[in-house]
């Protein structure tokens, strides 16, 4: 599985289905893509759609497509608008994307719905979403193996540096993309690993 960051809350994920076929996933894309599965966190609609071989999800519930399990958990933005927390499971790896999460804290019902989280994609900018201090608190509750910050200006390092300091980390060399499999997240490290991705 490969994870790439395209700025803001936009991610591209490539994985394998149960039949070892390539599956592409796009989250909060800025332009139309040809991804097999397209997820929207803050454009909440009433029902998923299938069109031209693509599966579009922007509503709460549980879904499965091409061997990828998706759970869409209700939450709110800073402006109390509807937001979706997505839990994506493929190749034995569980990825949580918080979208434009703006609640003061993550609640027990949301934690229970998410279950185990291997990779957490979390906003940190404090403008449209939670800030780095609130992110630190939520990370402690979710207890992921890997954390990837998002929704910050990659050209300005202030927000990212403040987040890293809060997490007890110094400057981290960004990766072009994260390649991961079940073995990478099977260890029992007490502290989450922070991964910084370059903006595509």
145 falls within a domain:
yes
pLDDT in tens, 59-117: 999 999 999 999 999 999 999 999 999 999 999 999 999 999 999 899 999 999 999 99
**Which residues, in sequence order, are bridge partners of residue 63?**
70
Instruction: Judge whether residue 3 has pLDDT over 90.
Output: yes
pLDDT at res. 20: 83
17 falls within a domain:
no
50 falls within a domain:
no
pLDDT in tens, 6-61: 999 999 999 998 888 999 999 999 988 999 999 999 888 877 889 889 999 999 99
pLDDT at res. 177: 97
75 falls within a domain:
yes
CA dihedral 51, 2, 194, 136 (to 10 degrees): 10
20 falls within a domain:
no
108 falls within a domain:
yes
What total number of domains does the chain contain? Answer: 1
92 falls within a domain:
yes
CA distance 103 to 143: 18
13 falls within a domain:
no
Query: 84 with 77: CB under 8 angstroms?
Result: no
- The CATH code of the domain that includes 78 is 3.60.15.10
Based on its alpha-carbon atoms, the radius of gyration of the chain, rounded to whole angstroms, reads 16
Structural domain of residue 104, as residue ranges?
Answer: 60-194
- With cut-offs at 50, 70 and 90, classify the pLDDT of residue 126: confident
Average pLDDT over residues 167-178: 94
pLDDT at res. 187: 74
């Amino acid at each position: 599985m490969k994870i790439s960051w395209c700025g803001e809350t936009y991610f591209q994920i490539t994985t394998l289905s149960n039949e070892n076929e390539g599956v592409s996933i796009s989250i909060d894309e800025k332009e139309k893509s040809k991804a097999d599965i397209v997820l929207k966190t803050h454009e909440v609609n009433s029902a998923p759609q299938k069109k031209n071989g693509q599966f579009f999800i922007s509503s709460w519930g549980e879904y499965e497509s091409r061997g990828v399990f998706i759970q869409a958990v209700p939450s709110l933005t800073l402006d109390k608008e509807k937001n979706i927390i997505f839990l994506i499971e493929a190749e034995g790896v569980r990825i949580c994307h918080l979208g434009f999460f703006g609640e003061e804290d993550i609640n027990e019902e949301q934690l229970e719905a998410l279950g185990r989280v291997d990779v957490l994609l979390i906003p940190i900018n404090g403008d449209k979403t939670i800030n780095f201090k609130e992110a630190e608190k939520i990370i402690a509750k979710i207890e992921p193996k890997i954390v990837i910050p998002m929704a910050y200006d990659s050209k300005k390092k202030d927000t990212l540096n403040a987040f890293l300091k809060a997490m007890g980390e110094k400057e981290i060399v960004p990766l072009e993309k994260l390649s991961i499999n079940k073995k990478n997240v099977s260890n029992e490290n007490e502290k989450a690993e922070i991964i910084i991705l370059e903006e595509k």
